[in-house]
Structure 1
Amino acid sequence: MLTKDDKLKDGLQLLMDNYWVLRSVSPKEYQFLRSMEKDLRQIISDKFGWRVYFHTDFIKLEKIPVEPEAWMGMLSFEEPMDYALFCCGLAFFEEKDIKEYFLLSHICEEILESYPGTPKVDWLNYNHRKSLIRVIKKMLDLHLIETIDGDMKRFLFEEDAEVLYVTTVYARYFMRPYPQNIYDYAHWSDLIEDETLDNENAQRHLVYKKLFMQPQLLRGEVSEADFYYIRNQRPSIEHFAERYSEYHLELYKDVAMLVMHENKAKSVSFPSNKALDDILLHLMALVRKKDFSVDAHGEIHLSTGQWDDLMDELIAIYQYGWSKEYRDKKKDALDVAIVQHGKSWGFLEREVTGICIYPTFARFAGKYSLNEKKEVEK
C-alpha cells in the first residue's frame, strides 16, 4: 500500500509530466490528484511558486520557467509560423461556445484576417497548409477540438478541403491568465518577471524551478548568492527531491543537477538509446583524457583547431560502432549534429572562436565494452 509521501510523489510527477490532466480522458488520474489537492497546492506553492488549477474538468500545473529554452517548445512544431497559427487558432476559439461546430474553412478565413506576421498567410502555399496541419494536429492532441467529419490530410493537397470540428470545454483554458492586461506588457520577458515581483521566496522558487526544469544549473549562469543558496540548503533540497520525486541532487563546484538512478518517469533523460547520445558519451570520454585548461567557472574553451582535432580523433576511435546514419555523415554534418544535440542538453555550445564545453560534460563518459567490439568485428 502506498504511503502518503509515495502518493504525493506520484501526484507531483503526474503534474510535471503532463500539460494538464483531463477528467474525461484520465478519470482515475484526475481523482487521484483531487484526493491530494490541499497537500499538492502547498508543496507546489512553497517550493516553486507555481499556480495549480483544480477545475471541474481538468487539473493543470502552470510550469512557468525562469528562462525559456528552445527545447521547451512544442516538439511537433517546425517553424515560427506554426506558433503564430496556433495563437490565431486560440483567438478564434475565444469567440466560440463550448461544443460549437465549425468548418476548417472558417478557421482558415479567421487566420487570414488575424495573422500578424509577414509575409501574409496564403493557403495556396503548400508549406503554409502543411504548417496549419501541424497546428490542427496539436490542437487535437491537446483535446482543444475534436474531429466530427472529414480528413485534415486532404488539406495538404486541396486548399478547399473541408473538415468539421467541434470545440471542447478545454479550448478556452489552454492560455494561462495573466496578473494584468497582456497589452500592458512591453516585452515577453515581462510576463515571466511579473511572476516574481515582490516575492520574498523568489530565490528558493528560482533554484527549484531551474533544478527541476533544466538539465543542470551552472554556477556561471546564476548569481553567486543563488549558487550559495544551493550549497547552504543542500540537505533540504536533497530531502525534498528524494521524498517527492525520483531525483537525487548532485552538487559539484561549478554545477548542480538532479539525476535519476533509473528512468521511471516520462521525462526525456540523458543518456537514452539515441545514437547521438552514444556519440556524446564517446566525446566525453575523449575530453576526460585531455589536459585542457579550465576557467574559473569550470568551462573549457576550445579553439576551432582544437575542436577540429578532437572531432578527427572521435571519428577515428569510435565511428566504426555507430549507426549507419552517423557512420556515413560527413565530418561537417556530424559536427553540426553533435553541437546542436550537446547544446540542447547544456553540455557545450559554439562560440565565435570555437567551442565552449560546460562542466556538466565531465559528469558522463562512455566507451565500447569488449563484447561490443567483438560484435562489430564480426
Structure 2
Amino acid sequence: MLNGRRLKVGVTLYLRRGQQSIWENGIFQNCYFLAMLLARSPLVEAAYIVNGGDGEAAEAGEFLSLAPVPVTGMEEARGELDVVIELSAQLNPEWARAFRARGGRVIGMRVANDYVIDIERMMFGLPHGMLVSGTPYDAIWTLPAFERMCAAYYGVALRAPVVTMQHLWSPVLLERSLARAGGTQPFGYEAGRGRWRVAILEPNICMVKSSHIPMLAVDVAHRQQPGMIDYLRVYNTMGLKSDAQFVGFARSLELTRQGRATFEPRLPVYEILTQQADAVVSHHWENAQNYVYYEALHGGYPLVHNSALLGGCGYRYADFDCMDGALALRQAYASHDATLGQYRAAARAFLAGLDPLGAHNVEGYSAAIAEVFR
C-alpha cells in the first residue's frame, strides 16, 4: 500500500468492432496475464481492462468472456484510476497529460522488438508501430527479450526510465480454449510415431520472427535423414503465397519438391499441436520470449529453437545456423521419446517461473508500480 492507500490500476486494450479471438495475436494474452497479476497484487484495490478501441465490450466475444477483471472506458479511467499501463491501445497524449495532472501515473509497457518494427515501417511505408507521440510516461516496462536492442531506444525516444519485467504466462487460456473446443485428442506429445509432422509457427509479419531459417533447418534434416519427417507445415504463410521470392524460396526445398511441405493460414496453436504436429521448429532475432514456445513446452512437444531465455528447455541451436538447427532437430528425433519424462519435468519447472499468480512475480510488478510514486 502507498501511505495506507491501495490503487486502482488499468491495462489498455484495443477492442475493435466485431468479434475478436484471444488467439489472433499475442497482445491479448499479454493483457490477460498482466490483469491476472494485478488482481492478485496487495497494492491494487481494483484492476481493470481499459478499452482504448472503437469497439464495444459486448462485441469482443471470446476475450471478454474470459477476462479476469472488469472492462472500463477511457473517460471513466481518466477520472477514477490511479495508474494506467499502456499495453495494447496507445494513449492520446492529451489524455495522458490530463490524467497525470490529477495525480495519475502512466506506464508504457513494450512487449515487442519495436526498434526493428519501427525501422521496417519507416523505411518501407508500412503502418506505424510504436508512437513517439509526446505521451508523458512515468516509466517504460519491457521484457528481457528486448532489453539489449530496445532499452536505450525506449529510454531516449520516450524520455522515461526503462525497467525490465518478468515475462508472464499461464496455461489457463490454453486449457480453457481446449475445453471450449471439446476435442477428443489430448493436448500433449504422443511418443511412438515413426515419422514426425513438423510445424513452423512464426507469424511472418516482421523479420524478427519469420519462417526462413526453420524451413532451411527442417529441409537440411530431411536431406540428411530422409526417413524422419512425414511432412512440414508452415503456418502464417497465406499472405506470402503471392510473393514470387517466397515461392521461389519454398520451391527450392526438397520437402516441397517431394510434396511433403504445405503452406497454411494462421490457426490457434491448440488446434495445430493436437491434430497436425509432433514437433515445432522456430527462429527469432532478438525476440526470445514467445507464447508458442511456452505452449509447446507445456504440452511436452519437442521445441527446436534458438532462444537463450528458455531455461535450457527444448533443443537449442545457434543463432542463424541452419545446419545446427538441422542437427538439433535430428537430436530431438533421436532422443525425445526416451527422455520425455525429464523433458516435461524441466518444462514444468521453467514455466512455473512465469506464473502471473506466482508470489515472486506479483511482488516484482507491485514493486515496479510503487516505484512510479516515489
Do they fold alike, i.e. is TM over 0.5?
A: no
Shorter-chain TM-score: what band? under 0.3
Larger Rg: 1
TM-score, structure 2 as length reference = 0.27
TM-score, structure 1 as length reference = 0.27
